Amino acid sequence: MPASASTVFRNLLPPEGAAHVVESPEGPVYYLDIGSGEPLLLVSAFGPQPGSTAWLLYREALEILARSRRCIVVELTNYGHTGPVTFHEPAHDVCVRAVVRVLDHLGLDRVAAVGTSMGATTCLDLALQHPERVERLVIGACHASTGGDPYLLAPFPSEVWNLHQASQADPHDRGKLRQLLRALWFDGDLVTDDLLDEILAFRTEHMDHWAAGAHSVSVPHSNVAALPEITVPVLVVHGRHDRMVPFEQALMIMSHLPQADVVVLNRCGHWPPMERPEEFARLVLEFVRGAEKGQR
């Protein structure tokens, strides 16, 4: 079992008893199981690798969601505790396998799936590869495809991507990590010295995950032409100030999914569940409750 939450990792690790591991041929898959009620799948996000844990992203939103839902939160391969895995294929395919292993382990046949950033693209891939497993999708801050999709207005690669590459090349550099996080999120005050200490310590303890990511090759794969195959209800939640994935990507996804609605959250960067947790949780709950009322 992973270490329980402590003073050192209070921002990165959940309370004791919330974290679990499924063993697989590709190594351990880490997930949180919090709350009770109808199951809700959540998948974590792109960020410092390693260091982008499920608890860091969702902890405040989970306080609300877990009051009425059983929240199953899967960490992306190599970003938190899941892995390490070295691969040569679309990165999201690796993450889909991890998600399916957790669903199978828990005996969950069909769920509403929620994801942000790379976790959202993983949820899209899950809906395309295993359509029978997904009843609704809440996504955002994402590209549709592994490797990204063309931008019409924004520069590519994005500012955050360039800062991420610089931080990954020097994973113990405090200044580069600070620059990355301040660009990743709208509110620079979230980037505290304590949080930097925690992420750097976590990275030091999980350098095998960093090495696996550094030696992996994510093969680009476009999902754009396949998006209309997704027929379940979709909600896209995107930060107005996302400097990793520009808002035009939300519009692109909506243009290929006529059933999708888009919500833009102001004063919000690449991680809506962290920066606007109350609004994010409210949107998710209203959307998934629509399934219970038979709404599309």
Q: What's 133's DSSP letter? A: G
**pLDDT of res. 295:** 59
Please report, to the nearest 10 degrees, the dihedral formed by the alpha carbons of residues 132, 133, 136, 142 taken in order: -110
Write down the pTM of the prediction.
0.95
Q: Residue 294 has what pLDDT?
A: 58
Whole-number pLDDT of residue 156: 87
The share of the chain scoring above pLDDT 70, in percent, equals 96
**b/e sequence 39-77, b meaning 16+ C-beta within 10 Å:** bbbbbbbbbbbbbbbbbbbbbbbbebbbeebbbbbbbbb
8 A C-beta contact, residue 112 and residue 288: yes
Choice between 13 and 2, residue whose per-residue pLDDT is larger: 13
Hey, what domains does the chain have and what are their CATH numbers?
A: 19-291 (3.40.50.1820)
pLDDT in tens, 239-254: 999 999 999 999 999 9
Tens of pLDDT, residue by residue over 14-73, are 999 999 999 999 999 999 999 999 999 999 999 999 999 999 999 999 999 999 999 999
Does residue 12 have a pLDDT over 80?
Answer: yes
What is the share, in percent, of the chain residues with pLDDT greater than 90? 93
Cβ–Cβ under 8 Å, residues 75 and 54: yes
d(CA 147, CA 124) in angstroms, rounded, equals 14
Q: What pLDDT sits at residue 205?
A: 95
Give the tens place of pLDDT for each residue, 184-212. 999 999 999 999 999 999 999 999 999 99
C-alpha to C-alpha distance for 250 and 241, rounded to whole angstroms: 13
Count, residues in the chain: 296
Q: How high is the pLDDT of residue 266?
A: 97
Confidence class for position 1, pLDDT limits 50, 70, 90: very low
- The confidence band for 138, taking pLDDT boundaries of 50, 70 and 90, is very high
